[in-house]
A and B are shown apart, each in its own frame.
Chain A
Amino acid sequence: MVENLTIYKNKKAIIMAFLFLLAFRAAAQETVNTGQLTGNFQTDFQFYNPDSLIGAPVVPEKLLLNAFANVNYTFKNFTAGVRFESYLNALQGYDTRYNGTGIPYKYFQYNNHGLGVTVGNFYEQFGNGMIFRSYEERSLGIDNAMEGLRIKATPYKGILIKGLIGNQRNYFEKGTGIVRGIDGEFTFNDIFESLSTNKTWVSIGGSFVSRFERDKDPIYNLPENVAAAAGRLTVSRGKISLMGEYAYKFNDPSATNNFIYKPGNALYVSGTYSQKGFGVLLSAKRIDNMDFRSSRTATGNDLLINYLPALTKQHTYSFTTMYPYVTQANGEFCMQGELTFNIKKNTPLGGKYGTNFTLNFSKANAIHKAALNDSTAIGQNGTLGYSSDFLKWDGKKYFQDINITINRRLSRVLRSSITYMNYLYNIDVIEGHQGDGIMYGHVGIAEFSLKVSDDNSVKTEIQYLNTKKDDGDWAMLMLEYNIKSTWFLTVIDQYNFGNQDPDKQIHYFNLTAGYTKNANRISLTYGKQRAGVVCVGGVCRRVPASNGFAITITSSF
């Protein structure tokens, strides 16, 4: 692996030269008819001041930098691309194994007459990703890109087959486990001419994934090949759409399941009904021992083969994202319901411009687990772990969220949005430590935006979080001034007035200014930053706790 790292870095100079050449071509606006160039660039500089009160550590470098540039070149049926990444050193909050500069992503792709071949790095997903998903989330530092070979084929209308093999990216190295997989999707209405006009649309899919990793364990006899399979069905008719996927994983003792030999399984079902002005979603997911990685010893976000996202609302306000749920891959039962509807304009409830409501409910509980016999504890390593009754309800609560958002335009120039959230957050389970118990909380948010003139607008956000646990109550005021959707200035004060420790009743004051021109953007921020999701000046990203000065430059071409 060290050798791989060296190769990456040795190649740097050569590939940098090509990148420069290509970037120069882009900058010079030289456009061509024999191919086209796309890509993007982002850099984040941050100057850090130590601040023990907010938990911002001493940063010996004082200045840290993350940067990346993607360049894709398409020529007829061929596409090739590279991504240059630089961490000098990685920003706080990113894994320190992201260090130095390299080209960890490079690919070559060919598409012709229903056949697509990719060599090098690629991202792919089978079904809902329950047994396979390789993807990137740059702002979170997640990237489990495959390096190997992928073939996609459409042998007949309505049939899509994907096959792949490779190793997974692990920061600037590669995992040693080999991942192999095949997926097929069959859409009946396309395959059979007689069904093409049928009102009911049906598609089925199936996938099989296997991982190989040598067994060098001195104690256990571990399976070197671990297989997982999944099947899915999607049916829609008119306003109704239904989806179900079931996944099964053969025994896979690993660090994350405490080396138990129990097979895993997962079921995800979802249904929607919608028409203009009204939409409803109901979904449920049960996961039992489904953590699947290309290395048995990997933990955290490392070398994950599958994707098991939380079935809870993805909030975006600072306080609604303060205590987010994290999927418990070793066992959870989740359900979610969401209702969105419009009340028409010029009605007593809808007002002059109409009103939109979104109600959302989600809940995550433990799954039933029983000891196999009197002498084996639940989850004891080297055993089959436990038995689990699929239909038996376990009352242990992990998370619950009930929230409502009402959007209403109050006048020609004034818009409002009100949100209320009531949540339950099991600190012990979600944060993985004992003794803190369950947190109950409320969040209230009011947002107003006023169009001062055709080119100027002001936005304000007032947020309040009430809880007795952790850091206690918070209040926030945000003001944003926007000129021509080009310049913006944002002032935020988050005040932790309910902290039990009077020294920590701090104002997190933050000032951001930015300029956006077409697909280029620069923003400057100064102040204290609480860890969480921040949305300013029109975009959202996740940031760690810090105190200092930051510059972000992004550009797409």
Chain B
Amino acid sequence: MKTFTFIIASFFIFTCLKSQEVSDQRTLPIVAIKTLQGANSSTSEITNDGKPIILAFWASWCRPCLKEMGAIAEVYEDWVEETGVKLVAISTDDSRTARNVLPLVNGKGWEYEFYLDENGDFKRAMGVNLLPHTFILNGNLEVVKQFTAFGDGGEVKLIESVREIIEAENQD
């Protein structure tokens, strides 16, 4: 095991030393996820044709998450029209409740793009701990901001971040 630790440590040092020069932003890791019907998919399928994305980690048993999704649903059409943003919702429901997600989101009438992260691989790769956890991605799928927890009115922060991205792009 000591050798193994050494290899991991060397890898960290190597990348730390190598990466002094240029700056860039964090993008999405490539991780296997599933559609709500159970088909294999990948985070590489997540795209919005160069427009911003709201990437929301949630679960069907998380009440604040349901509130957040419901609050966004009321204004989603306006958001899409105004900014072209897309909400990609990653359900972290495990096999206990994963099958409940599809009828739940249809029953609620939510029209987001949904995926399942049944064993938390995507969640871990993104450093998500508490739910809900929401990332704002720019058109290049770079993480611009992230938010955890949800209180009434919290959806405003999300769209404000999206507007900032668009304003910044317009200035460039």
Tell me the A residues contacting B by CB distance below 8 Å.
4, 7, 11, 14-15, 18, 21-22, 25, 30-40, 42, 70, 72-75, 78-80, 82, 103, 106-108, 111, 119-120, 123-125, 128-129, 133, 135-136, 138, 152, 160, 185, 187, 201, 203, 234, 236, 241, 243, 270, 272-281, 283, 307, 309-311, 314-317, 338-342, 356, 358, 407, 449, 451, 454-455, 457, 459, 482, 484-486, 488, 516, 518-521, 535, 537-540, 554, 556-557
Alpha-carbon separation in the docked complex, A283 to B102 (Å): 13
Judge whether B131 is part of the interface by a CB distance below 8 angstroms: yes
18 A-B pairs with C-beta separation under 8 A:
A4-B1, A33-B24, A38-B125, A73-B11, A75-B11, A106-B8, A234-B38, A241-B102, A272-B102, A278-B106, A485-B150, A516-B149, A518-B148, A519-B147, A538-B150, A539-B130, A554-B148, A557-B127
* A18-B12, A516-B149 known; A277-B106 Cβ under 8 A: yes
Q: Give the residues in chain A near B30, CB-CB below 8 Å.
A: 111
Please state if A36 and B27 are interface contacts (CB–CB under 8 Å).
Answer: yes
Please, which residues of chain B bring their CB within 8 A of the CB of A459?
Answer: 152
Residue of B nearest to A160 (CB): B40
Q: Which of B97, B120, B147, B152 contacts A135 (CB 8 A)?
A: B120
The interface-forming segment of B46-54, B56-64, B76-84, B164-172 is: B56-64
Q: A32-B22, A32-B23 given as contacts; is B106 within 8 A of A80 (CB)?
A: no
The answer to whether A7 touches B96, judged by C-beta atoms less than 8 angstroms apart, is no
Q: Which residue of B lies closest to A37 (CB)?
A: B26
- Per the bound structure, the CA–CA distance linking A483 and B118 in Å amounts to 33
CA–CA, A124 and B119, complex, Å: 7
B109 and A342 within 8 A (CB): yes
Total interface residues on B, CB under 8 Å, equals 77
* Pairwise interchain contact A38-B119, C-beta atoms closer than 8 A: no
Chain B nearest CB: distance from A158 CB in Å? 8
CB neighbours (8 Å) of A280 from chain B are 103
A191 CB → nearest B CB, Å: 12
CB <8 Å contact, B153 and A457: yes
Of A40, A78, A185, A310, the most chain B CB neighbours within 10 A belong to: A40
Considering the complex, which residues of chain B in the window 124-145 have a beta carbon less than 8 Å from any beta carbon of chain A? 124-133, 145
The residues of A that contact B132 with a CB separation of less than 8 Å are: 538-539
> A339–B100 Cα gap in the complex (Å)?
10
Q: A201-B39, A537-B151 are in contact. Are A309 and B127 (CB under 8 A)?
A: no
- Least CB distance, A104 to chain B, in whole angstroms: 12
Contact B120 A40 (CB under 8 A): no
Residues of B within 8 A of A554 (CB): 129-130, 148
Q: With A11-B5, A108-B7, A309-B95 known to touch, is A123 a contact of B120 (CB < 8 Å)? A: yes
Evaluate contact between A123 and B121: CB separation under 8 angstroms.
yes
Nearest residue in B to A4 (C-beta to C-beta)? B1
Are B152 and A482 in touch, CB under 8 angstroms? yes
Is A31 touching B23 in the complex (CB atoms < 8 A)? yes
Which residue on chain B has the smallest CB distance to residue A354? B109
**Pair A125/B95 contact, Cβ less than 8 Å:** yes
With the chains together, A451 CA to B25 CA distance in Å?
36
Q: Which of B86-136 contact A (CB under 8 A)?
A: 94-97, 99-100, 102-109, 111, 118-121, 124-133
CA A15 to CA B1, docked complex, whole Å: 13
Pair B106/A279 contact, Cβ less than 8 Å: yes
15-57 of chain B: CB within 8 A of chain A = 15-16, 18-27, 29-30, 32, 36-40
Nearest-CB distance from A225 to chain B (Å)?
26
Assess whether A454 is in contact with B106, with CB atoms less than 8 Å apart.
no
A346 CA / B142 CA spacing, docked (Å): 41
- Shortest Cβ distance from B89 into chain A, in angstroms? 15
B87 CB to nearest chain A CB (Å): 16
Q: How far is the CB of B69 from chain A (nearest CB, A)?
A: 12
List A contacts of B29 (CB < 8 A). Answer: 38, 74, 79
Is the Cβ of B5 less than 8 Å from the Cβ of A15? yes
Bound complex: CA of A272 vs CA of B148, how far in Å? 31
Q: Which of A136, A203, A356, A457 contacts B151 (CB 8 A)?
A: A457
Q: How far is the CB of A444 from chain B (nearest CB, A)?
A: 17
Of all A-B residue pairs in the complex, the 4 with the closest CB atoms, nearest first, are A340-B107, A279-B103, A538-B149, A309-B96
Most chain A Cβ neighbours within 10 Å, of B104, B106, B146, B152: B152
Q: Of A203, A340, A485, which is within 8 A of B103 by CB?
A: A340
A540 to chain B, nearest CB (A): 6
- CA–CA, A108 to B22, complex, Å? 25
Contact B103 A272 (CB under 8 A): yes
Given the known A-B contacts A316-B63, A539-B149, are A276 and B40 also in contact in the complex, defined by CB atoms under 8 Å? Answer: no
